[in-house]
Amino acid sequence: MMTENHFWHGKRICVTGGAGFLGSFVTEKLKARNAGHVFIPTIEEYDLVQPSSIRQLLDDSRPDIIIHLAAQVGGIGANLEHPAEFFYNNLMMGVQLMHEAWLRGIEKFVALGTICAYPKFTPVPFNEDDLWNGYPEETNAPYGLAKKMLLVQAQAYRQQYGFNSIFLMPVNLYGPRDNFHPDSSHVIPALIKKCIEAKESGAESIEVWGDGSPTREFLYVEDAAEGILLATEKYNQPEPVNLGSGMEISIKDLVELIARLTGFEGRLIWDASKPNGQPRRRLSVERAEREFGFKAQVDFEEGLRRTIDWYIAKQERTAVHDIEHT
């Protein structure tokens, strides 16, 4: 642990998106590693789509390292409804922030991409070298490609300017503090919420999008945060790196598992008219282990239990708060 603490000692770190789901775990781990100063910009104070806001942020935070986690994200529905916003906001945030970081001589820029950048029919497991062999799955393409441009920028700025920027691609994340809003949540929180509400209301069935055939890989949020910090400490190369767990589960099996863990015993009705998304997703995770010693630690079922427990506790806290203020 001494080397890690030594790396962060006295460093000023700016974590965009640091108040968000993944960011909150990254900032906790930074503090545990005795980072010198961790600056977390809020969306209310800094609109990172605007160049003037980015300059203000860097004036205020004076970072040695930027970890860029901020993104406008959502599930299939949100991507279908807001493709232009997802493209423009994610592109402008990242490209301008990296450029300004280079102008100011910032020591290191850690850009977070997305596996939505992979081609739709990438051979499984997704290997980083296959990233450019086709067009992404259409529903996620505007978001995925906007993020992918940060890889192009990072490599170009390294080549021309010697700027140290790395590009990491986490698989689908899950865990406590995730977004459970029905309009914008990803598959795991959406299913947990749906199963718990159906159980509580005594519903006989729940409806699920698609036919259950696609497979997905999931990475526990705390593992992802650890991977990001290990890469920041140890990885200084142009090649992109996957952050994943290496597991793969079908949506059908996932729904049945969440129903079991939440205690929902009703029927599952599949709406095959709704889009499935990408057919299969599983990452090759060897590069992260080889280059900076990252390996996911939290078992999937254990991670789901923690997430469900957190959500139930949060609902109970909200209910108590509502009673106290009526």
Note if 143 is an active site residue.
yes
Beta strand 215-216 with 249-250: parallel, antiparallel or unpaired? antiparallel
DSSP state of 122: P
Q: How far apart are CA 99 and CA 102, in angstroms?
A: 5
302 burial (CB, 10 Å; 0-12 / 13-18 / 19+) is exposed
Cis ω for the linkage preceding 182 (within 30 of 0): no
Q: How far apart are CA 51 and CA 59, in angstroms?
A: 12
**Tokens 């139930």 map to which residue?**
312
Phi, then psi, of 211 in degrees rounded to 5 = -115, 0
The H-or-E segment that residue 116 falls in is: none
Contact 55, 96 (CB under 8 A): no
In the structure encoding, which two tokens stand for residue 168, read together?
């990491």
DSSP letters spanning 221-284: HHHHHHHHHHHHHH---SS-EEE-----EEHHHHHHHHHHHHT--SEEEEETTS---SS---B-
Q: How far apart are CA 306 and CA 318, in angstroms?
A: 18
Q: How far apart are CA 223 and CA 244, in angstroms?
A: 9
In the structure encoding, which two tokens stand for residue 231, read together?
């890469």
Phi, then psi, of 201 in degrees rounded to 5 = -90, -5
From the candidates 46, 88, 135, 143, give the one annotated as an active-site residue. Answer: 143
Which residues are known to be catalytic?
Answer: 143
